[in-house]
Structure 1
Amino acid sequence: MASKAKTDKTPAKADDKQIKVDKWDGSALKNALDDATKKVLIEDMGYEESHRLMDGRLAICTLSVGFAMFALAWDYLHPFPQSRPVLIFCVTSYFFMMGVLTLYTTLKEKGCFLVALDKDKAGIDPPNVWTFVSQVKRYDDQYTLYATYVDAKTKAVRTANFTKSVAQFFDVDGNLCSDYFEVEVRKLHSGLSSEKKHK
């Protein structure tokens, strides 16, 4: 995918660990750019990452495994066929929870990889929320990053995005040129921030 990248791109900052991926693996390229976005927002800008979406997924998975473990323990204490009604209930519940998990990831998470909280320095107002979703279509080199800003006071929601070829951010060896990508992320962020200040 990134075969057209220029070889004269400057390397990432010296104190950063160089990120290298298989340039023909779309998922690896997407994940590397997602991680780079997290670094800009969390480490560089000082936002706090919210794990609410992941916690919801873990809760659903934990409950599903709980049904499976309970069925296993019950069958051990009350061998089949005595355990049959409980096994039927637990198996049915497990597959029901898998359906819930699918709906949760599809309708709630919607491909979101980062929820960042912009907390009020005075600690009075609730935090503003930044949500980031990315997309790379199969057999495509176009990386799209969507940003959504939710104002905690007015509940106003604003969105912005950019689409760039992954070849602009990786060299021919698959090394991420983080400086180039960071510029795009900051432009996306500042665009929404400026809009926020002028309204």
Structure 2
Amino acid sequence: MMGADKSKDSKSGKTEDVKIDKWDTSALKNALDDAAKKVLLDTYGYKESHKLVDCRLFICTIAVGFATFALIWDYLRPFPESRPVLITCVSLSYFVLMGVLTVYTTYCEKGFFLVALEKDKTGVDPDNVWHLSSYLKKYDDIYHLTMSYMDGKTKKTTSAEVSKSVAQFFDEKGYLCTENFSPVVVSLRSTITKEKKEK
């Protein structure tokens, strides 16, 4: 995470507090995203799923494969003999695969920074899935966190969103106050759980 490091906070006595540059929007968002992820994984024992990221990496690997093939081909058969292969590889790896990657990140990843699996206690039913996504506009102090839940059996989705000023979660020195932020994530999950029981 850019702009973030870990150090000791003498006031709280904690040895692993997160400190960031308060004026770096990306660092603010990343620190809060990591803290929200930690709550779901550590507090509730959910297991992180890496399928979405793995698929993105697979698409990128194919693109790199085309580029490598073009490089080797050009070495073995120097330009202009390699021209048709270079044009084909550039077209496939850049235009086509970048288009596929854009569609994938827009409609499949949907900005999720965490996909967590809630295992069925009996081991019979499919896993329930929790998603976390967020955004923080540049030069804005309002952090928007969205949590969604998909039932493994019915595939029905429930979601909730909270918007808070980042000033509530960081002190003057740029340390993340997890004791202020964690309850927000817990409350968001409780809202979804309550709605799920009422349905």
TM-score with structure 1 setting the length:
0.90
Q: Tell me the secondary structure at the aligned position of residue 129 of structure 1.
A: strand
Shift of 1:192: 0.5
TM-align CA RMSD? 1.7
Deviations 1:150-194 (A, max 9, x none): 111111111101000000000011100001100000000011112
The answer on 1:98 being equivalent to 2:101 is: no
| TM-score, structure 2 as length reference | 0.90
Q: Partners in 2 of 1:13 and 1:109 — Cα distance? A: 37
Secondary structure of the residue that 1:86 maps to in structure 2?
Answer: helix
In structure 2, the partner of 1:25 is 24
CA distance in 2: counterparts of 1:129 and 1:16, whole angstroms? 32
Shift of 1:14: 4.9
Query: How has the CA–CA distance of structure 1 residues 13 and 38 changed in structure 2, closer, same or farther, with 3 Å as cutoff?
Result: farther
Aligned partners of 2:12 and 2:159: how far apart in 1?
Answer: 30
Equivalent residues in 2 for 1:2-81, closer than 5 Å: 14=13, 17-81=16-80
Q: How does 1:33-182 map to 2 (within 5 A)?
A: 33-95=32-94, 96-182=96-182
Greater Cα shift, 19-28 or 81-90: 81-90
Instruction: Provide the C-alpha distance between the structure 2 equivalents of 1:19 and 1:120, rounded to a whole number of angstroms.
Output: 33
Structure 1: any 5+ residue segments left out of the alignment?
1-9
Q: Aligned-pair distance for 1:13?
A: 6.9
Shift in alpha-carbon separation, 1:79–1:130, aligned structure 2, 3 A: same
The letter for the 2-side match of 1:138 is K
The 8 Å contact of residues 136 and 143 in structure 1, kept in 2 or not, is answered as yes
The answer to whether the 8 Å contact 1:126/1:152 transfers is yes
C-alpha change, 1:66 and 1:100, in structure 2 (3 Å) is: same
**Greater length-normalized contact order (CA 8 Å, ≥ 6 residues apart):** 1
Match of 1:105, as an amino acid? T
Q: How many residues align?
A: 190
Report what 1:4 is aligned to.
none
- Is contact 1:146–1:161 with CA below 8 Å preserved after alignment? yes
Aligned-pair identity in percent equals: 58
